Amino acid sequence: MSMEETIMTLVVKSGQARSAAYEALGEAKQGRFEEAQQKMRESAQWVMEAHDIQTELLVMEARGEMNQISLIGVHAQDHLMDCMLARELITEMIELYRALSHKKDKEDGQ
């Protein structure tokens, strides 16, 4: 795989991770917490794959196999950082939705 293909794969996997996390948030908004957790597990898998690519690129750079900074490489790093931050915030938001749901259930006498 060429360097550009590797970097674009990092962008795609990061995007998939972020998309799955936002789908999880949508499930939580509807009170479907098991589905939300499944989407977050899916997101975690995409992040792990993206992180493996990032690690591969860092190792290549450390070995001197990459000696130039490319705009697309920076873009890929931005995507990975963005998805990781989104996942952290969405995890907290899901927990808030869960707490609100439990509070509502108690108020409704369930």
Residue 108 marked as a ligand binder: no
Residue 15, Cα to own-chain centre: how many angstroms? 7
- How does DSSP assign 30-90, residue by residue? TT-HHHHHHHHHHHHHHHHHHHHHHHHHHHHHHTTS-----HHHHHHHHHHHHHHHHHHHH
CA distance 92 to 66: 37
Active site residue 79: no
Which of these is catalytic: 51, 75, 79, 102? 75
Amino acid, single-letter form, for residue 73: G
Catalytic positions: 75
Known binding-site residue numbers: 78
Binding residues for Mg(2+): 78
